[in-house]
Structure 1
């Protein structure tokens, strides 16, 4: 929706640092109302850290409460860089944390202490890359993430990541998880964008995710009339002109015009971090690469459009 009061954008993310500990919560802010020029807040230092669970957080997601009563950050409970020479991704996906780390805030400046919430069932190997949005029909927040599911308690045998979903109203208590997206191949990093009232198809839902299978669809886009509706393919291998090794799509709309931005996180190119694409037709599947001025190694997060009051408060606080 075109927001006359909209001004500036806030990015929550972590930083990839194999030699230190940057698996924490960082904030970057746009330079004024420009969605393509950014600076890291708090003199480049993190604003939040988890001492719970694995003591690391990745893939944070920042969302605004629909009732105007604050904000939440949800993140993967994972510390990958622990001094080991190599990362055993298979072990991490079989015996990782089934928890998410959650923070609450009334104003984006003051944040609660972190808490762990268990969302994935015992047959899950992990709970990675959580995101959420408000479901107007039920009044719940739908929370979704990727998990491998196994048939035995030892989590042996073959499996693949699929997307699970549950519901909450307070980000404290959650319903049992159910499978939302299982296409028989490795799918991770789901993000959802719902068209606004002044968009061509109000309420239409677009989902972007990463097909991680060999020679798969990579970043793909699908569309449906509702979150639990019938999904139709729109595009595959989005951003393949940038690199094959991209993941963690995030999508947001420009405050003042009908233009959308799709960022993809490159782990193949150096320096690692987000690259940007744009379109003026969200349902076309046609995305054009565009320059993005963002500090290097800014990894997997989400962008929150701000009001001018919020922008000024966050910029001043950090």
Structure 2
């Protein structure tokens, strides 16, 4: 029972699931934006579909995966604005080690969120979770970023850096113990994956000074450590500081889109790149006409079927 896909003759439209960066208002909630027709470069923001009163009460970096009977969302349990104001260093040492999980049958109505603790006690946090269907093993690989501290450092006071950890699940109710998926010796966050041609293409943010920035590699399968780097510092020459990559294949062509999340003084929100050869590692700016509201932040694009797009459009009066 592999993960269903939207593709084929019925493929039409896209849903962007994301949060919104706003220091003046609580918008660290799950928002949705819908493509205008089948155009992945033009979007209308629909609104908020999920809020949390659990944990930190924040929802960042939402990711949605298609399952046999609907969709499952995982998100970061972190509130940057209007929370405890502890700051980034403290959040990486003593942050939430749980993911927020919610389900939907139709992408319109979502279940009440619940917290699932996935990171071990020696982890400082669990950020930017994503779910990837591992066809080889018949299970989902759920991965996220965590700092890790030594067994004698209960106070999490020592030096650390983010690795990518993972757990496996078949039902999003029970998860295997966490293991390390990627440890480069440097701070690595925001991993996302896409399968094509029997290989898995991954994107990561190397956040270390002088590091690779946003980079792309390829592995034989999701849990492999045999990686070949294909591109480094993607988007840095045009947009400066970028993170939170999302990648998806176009419905109607052998074409892939990569959205990178610009942050810092240069602007806030996603900027698009495109390629017709995923394996090349070459990405070009998607050109003019990209229409997405500012401050649309770290999320995922879900390719849809025509009936799913129509249902979302009707539900939101589009």
TM-score (norm 2): 0.93
Please state if 1:170 is matched with 2:142.
no
Q: CA deviation at 1:88?
A: 1.6
Contact residue 244 and residue 261 of structure 2 kept, 8 A: yes
Please state if 1:214 is matched with 2:216.
no
Mapped to 2, the partners of 1:114 and 1:226 lie a distance apart of 30
Q: CA deviation at 1:3?
A: 2.6
Q: What's 2:122 paired with?
A: 123
Please state if 1:81 is matched with 2:81.
yes
Q: CA deviation at 1:269?
A: 4.6
Mapped to 1, the partners of 2:77 and 2:83 lie a distance apart of 18
Q: CA deviation at 1:242?
A: 2.1
Please state if 1:23 is matched with 2:19.
no
3-state SS of the aligned residue for 2:297?
strand
Pairing of 1:117-196 with structure 2 (within 5 A): 117-151=116-150, 152-195=153-196
Q: CA deviation at 1:87?
A: 6.6
Greater displacement, 25-34 / 286-295: 286-295
Q: Deviations over 1:230-282 (max 9, x none)?
A: 11111101111222210001000111111100000001255410000001111
Please state if 1:32 is matched with 2:37.
yes
Q: What's 2:63 paired with?
A: 61
Q: What's 1:266 paired with?
A: 262
Q: What's 1:223 paired with?
A: 218
Mapped to 2, the partners of 1:18 and 1:308 lie a distance apart of 36
Mapped to 2, the partners of 1:104 and 1:171 lie a distance apart of 10
Mapped to 2, the partners of 1:126 and 1:287 lie a distance apart of 32
Per the alignment, do residues 33 and 6 of structure 1 end up closer, same or farther by CA in structure 2, a change over 3 Å counting? Answer: same
Contact residue 77 and residue 101 of structure 1 kept, 8 A: yes
Contact residue 103 and residue 111 of structure 1 kept, 8 A: yes
Contact residue 214 and residue 233 of structure 2 kept, 8 A: yes
Contact residue 15 and residue 301 of structure 2 kept, 8 A: yes
Return the match for 2:48 from 46, 49, 53.
46
3-state SS of the aligned residue for 1:46?
strand
Q: What's 1:287 paired with?
A: 283
Q: What's 1:199 paired with?
A: none
Contact residue 4 and residue 256 of structure 1 kept, 8 A: no
Contact residue 56 and residue 83 of structure 2 kept, 8 A: no
Please state if 1:248 is matched with 2:244.
yes
Mapped to 1, the partners of 2:311 and 2:266 lie a distance apart of 33
Q: Deviations over 1:122-161 (max 9, x none)?
A: 0000000000111112111100000000011110110000
Mapped to 2, the partners of 1:53 and 1:81 lie a distance apart of 14
Q: CA deviation at 1:83?
A: 6.8
Mapped to 2, the partners of 1:269 and 1:10 lie a distance apart of 28
Contact residue 19 and residue 83 of structure 1 kept, 8 A: no
Q: CA deviation at 1:228?
A: 2.3
Q: CA deviation at 1:306?
A: 0.1
Mapped to 2, the partners of 1:154 and 1:215 lie a distance apart of 29
In structure 1, stretches of 5+ residues that fail to align are 196-201
Q: What's 2:9 paired with?
A: 4
